[in-house]
Amino acid sequence: MIQDSLRTGHTGTRCHFDLQKKQQNRLGLPNLGYGVGLRSQHFPYLMQQEDVLVDWFEIISENFIGNYGYGRHVVKTMAEKKPLVMHGVSMNIGSSGALDTEYLKQLKELAQYLQPKWISDHLCWTGLLHVNTHDLLPIPLTEESLQYMIERVRTVQDYMERPLVIENPSTYLEFSQNTITEWDFLRLLALETGCGLLLDVNNVFVSAFNHGYDAEHYIRQLPHEHIVQIHIAGPTHCGDYMIDTHDQPVPTPVWHLYQLAQSLTGGVSTLLEWDANIPEYPTLVEELFKAKHILNGGFFPTEQLKKTKKALSTPLSSPHYNSIENERTA
């Protein structure tokens, strides 16, 4: 059936729970407007402000799982002011190992506490045998792995009792066994499971550069009615390859992809990711609102990509990752 779908470009949608009505309009999920990732560096500033300047926030779920301290207090306070979305980096949904039921249980508990508009994670695997690599690693793109991912997404959605939103990853290598393009894989996954898509246009830009494909073609081939959110960010140009670092302003080519994506979706929630060299909060918001400026017909920002050999960043508050960064920057 999947081979037929690749030829015809569509499939019959099968759902374990009733998504039929929601699918008519991006799964019934709203356009939240313009948001930023909530990061601990900005907690003191935000807790002193009446007006947080943005329409909504995205959090990294893992930073608040098992955290009952000040961070949870801040995120709950922000959730009472603005809509919130939970974005994960450790679901490990593409792993060949069993799904981590304890992780899913904690994720569901956090969702019950924060009432996010939706929950997202990546088309990737992150570890095996209880080892978390803290890297979003590519999966093989074959009929077999597509069927496997369809079952995994269905299982998670059934357990979470809500559609999962899947983000396209940035990748630096790919399997020679691949038989399906990433855009076809995501399209079929969305159509078969009813999941939503988080389109990271910066990740498309990064992967297109690294693998030599057409970023605009990628975006045009996706099922736009399933896209509920867009990520924008600034990557790092390392010469022969591009790395998804989220450490600088959004470059002009990514703004062009953003405009294309919004014209195809009809307008979905926009989120600026910034995870290293994080600017002061007002500067972050200034960068975010360039998106609004562009969609209102304004000029494109002319941001040049910085070139460097050193590039590493993470949104996780992790001692393990900090030690890696210290080694790399030493």
State the nearest-atom distance from the C-beta of 47 to Fe ion, in Å: 26
Q: How far apart are CA 328 and CA 316, in angstroms?
A: 17
CB-CB contact of 188 with 5 (8 Å): yes
First CA to last CA distance, the chain: 52
DSSP string, 52-118: -SSSEEEEEGGGTTT--SHHHHHHHHHHHHS-EEEE-S---TT-SSPP-HHHHHHHHHHHHHH--S-
15 vs 260 by CB, closer to Fe ion: 260
200 vs 287 by CB, closer to Fe ion: 200
State the Rg of the chain over Cα: 19
CB atoms within 10 A of CB 241: 14
CB-CB contact of 207 with 238 (8 Å): no
State the nearest-atom distance from the C-beta of 200 to Fe ion, in Å: 4
6 vs 185 by CB, closer to Fe ion: 185
2 vs 254 by CB, closer to Fe ion: 254
State the nearest-atom distance from the C-beta of 252 to Fe ion, in Å: 19
State the nearest-atom distance from the C-beta of 21 to Fe ion, in Å: 28
> Of 60, 54, 56, 55, which is closest to residue 40 (Cα–Cα)?
60
193 vs 245 by CB, closer to Fe ion: 245
135 vs 143 by CB, closer to Fe ion: 135
23 vs 170 by CB, closer to Fe ion: 170
State the nearest-atom distance from the C-beta of 313 to Fe ion, in Å: 12
State the nearest-atom distance from the C-beta of 202 to Fe ion, in Å: 7
* Residue numbers at the binding site for Fe ion (CB under 5 A): 200, 231
SS3 200: strand
Q: How far apart are CA 104 and CA 156, in angstroms?
A: 8
Instruction: At 211, give phi and psi (nearest 5°).
Output: -110, -5
State the nearest-atom distance from the C-beta of 36 to Fe ion, in Å: 13
CB-CB contact of 292 with 34 (8 Å): yes
Q: What DSSP state is assigned to residue 241?
A: S
Q: Work out the burial of residue 101: count CB atoms within 10 Å of its CB; fewer than 13 is exposed, 13-18 middle, 19 or more buried.
A: exposed
State the nearest-atom distance from the C-beta of 11 to Fe ion, in Å: 26
100 vs 200 by CB, closer to Fe ion: 200
